[in-house]
């Protein structure tokens, strides 16, 4: 086994550990998905390259599994993120105005004047 | 060197398991289980390098595919029934 294979495998495992720490430490759902999906995708690619370099046979299976995860991990994260965005009970930690045409949630989706009380309109600093 | 990689994968798997147990919403648990699938695939690959055999690589392939099916099924579940708690 070459040194390059060992370094690639170790880097991939380190990215999996970073993804886990991010999933534990981050505060809302989209931040956790940001940590988990991106770090897991690059980890799988690094680990597959390390395994291909480290093994004599079986490169096709490793590369097929890596390509499958490389395609399906962002697709699955997109499905989960869209479902959580459309669900009103999940706090996805959005700030500011929501410009999506789906407009799933009431307070952020409609910034028009008829939507509700606007605290920014009132004059502040009245002595 | 592969022992250090296995320890790092164990740390990541423990973090994903913790989030899967105590995620406040179903989507958090789904993200954590998806990370666990990636961790298991990575574990199989590192173990194949460690034993220098290609005998168990089909396990990684099948787990990767079944993990995507589970994630998409969970997303459909959230869209149909709501995933607050």
Residues 6+ apart with CB under 8 A from A49: A8
Residue contacts between A and B (CB atoms, under 8 Å): 196
- A93 min Cα distance to partner chain B (Å): 13
Crossing angle of helices B57-81 and A59-86, rounded to 10°: 10
Given a cut of 70, whether residue B27 has pLDDT beyond it is yes
- Residue B1's closest chain A neighbor by CA? A6
| Mean pLDDT calculated for residue range A88-97 | 69
- A109 has a pLDDT exceeding 60: no
Confidence (pLDDT) at B83: 57
List the structure tokens of B10: 């164990």
Alpha carbon distance A27, A59 (integer Å): 39
User: Is-contact B48 B61, C-beta < 8 A?
Assistant: no
Domain that holds residue B42: 2-81
Angstrom distance (rounded) from CA B37 to CA A73: 10
Q: What is the pTM of this model?
A: 0.81
Q: How confident is the model at residue B79 (pLDDT cuts 50, 70, 90)?
A: confident
For residue A74, tell me if it sits in a domain.
yes
Q: Provide Rg for chain B, Cα atoms.
A: 15
Q: Give percent of chain B above pLDDT 70.
A: 95
What is the Cα–Cα distance from A117 to A29, expressed in whole angstroms? Answer: 28
Two tokens, residue A35: 């940590």
Give tens-digit pLDDT for B28-63: 999 999 999 999 999 999 999 999 888 889 999 999
Q: Which of A7-16, A76-85, B19-28 has the highest mean pLDDT?
A: A7-16
- pLDDT at residue number B78: 87
> Mean pLDDT over all residues of chain A?
80
Q: With 50 as the cut, is the pLDDT of residue A126 above it?
A: no
Is pLDDT of B16 > 70?
A: yes
Structure tokens at A78: 């997109």
For an interface test with A, give the residue of B28, B35, B48, B67 to mutate (most A CBs within 10 A): B35
Residue A104's pLDDT is what?
57
Distance CA B60, CA B55 (A): 11
A 10 A CB-CB count for B46 gives 25
* pLDDT at residue B2 is higher than 60: yes
Cβ-based contacts of A77 with chain B (< 8 Å): 31, 34
Helix (H, G, I), strand (E, B) or coil at A24: helix
**Confidence check: pLDDT of A120 > 70:** no
Q: Who wins on pLDDT, A68 or A91?
A: A68
CB of B5 within 8 Å of a chain A CB? The answer is yes
Rounded to the nearest integer, the mean pLDDT of chain B is: 90
Residue A81 near residue B81, CB atoms below 8 Å:
no
- Calculate helix-pair angle for B26-51, B2-21, nearest 10 degrees: 160
> What is the rounded distance in angstroms from the CA atom of residue A123 to the CA atom of residue A37?
45
Q: What is the pLDDT of residues A25-66, one digit of tens each?
A: 998 888 899 999 999 999 999 999 999 998 888 889 999 999
Domain containing A15: what range?
Answer: 3-91
Structural domains counted in chain A: 1
What's the number of domains chain B is made of?
1
For the record, the structure tokens of A7 come out as 């370094």
For residue B47, the domain's CATH number is 1.10.287
């Amino acid at each position: 086994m070459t040194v390059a294979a060992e370094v690639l495998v170790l880097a991939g495992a380190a990215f999996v550990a970073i993804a886990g720490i991010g999933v534990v430490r981050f505060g809302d759902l989209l931040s956790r998905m940001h940590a988990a999906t991106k770090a897991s995708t690059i980890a799988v690619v690094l680990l597959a390259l390390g395994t291909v370099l480290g093994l004599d046979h079986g490169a096709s299976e490793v590369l097929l599994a890596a390509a499958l995860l490389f395609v399906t991990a962002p697709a699955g994260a997109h499905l989960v993120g869209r479902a959580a965005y459309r669900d009103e009970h999940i706090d996805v930690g959005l700030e500011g105005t929501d410009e999506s045409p789906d407009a799933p949630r009431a307070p952020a989706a409609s910034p028009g004047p008829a939507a509700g009380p606007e605290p920014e309109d009132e004059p502040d600093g009245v002595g | 060197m592969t022992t250090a990689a296995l320890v790092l994968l164990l740390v990541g798997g423990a973090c994903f398991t913790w989030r899967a147990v105590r995620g406040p919403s179903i989507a958090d648990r789904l993200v954590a289980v998806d990370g666990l699938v990636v961790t298991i695939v990575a574990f199989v690959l590192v173990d194949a390098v460690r034993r220098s055999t290609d005998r168990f690589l089909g396990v990684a392939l099948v787990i990767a595919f079944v993990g995507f099916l589970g994630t998409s099924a969970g997303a459909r579940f959230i869209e149909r029934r709501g995933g607050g708690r």
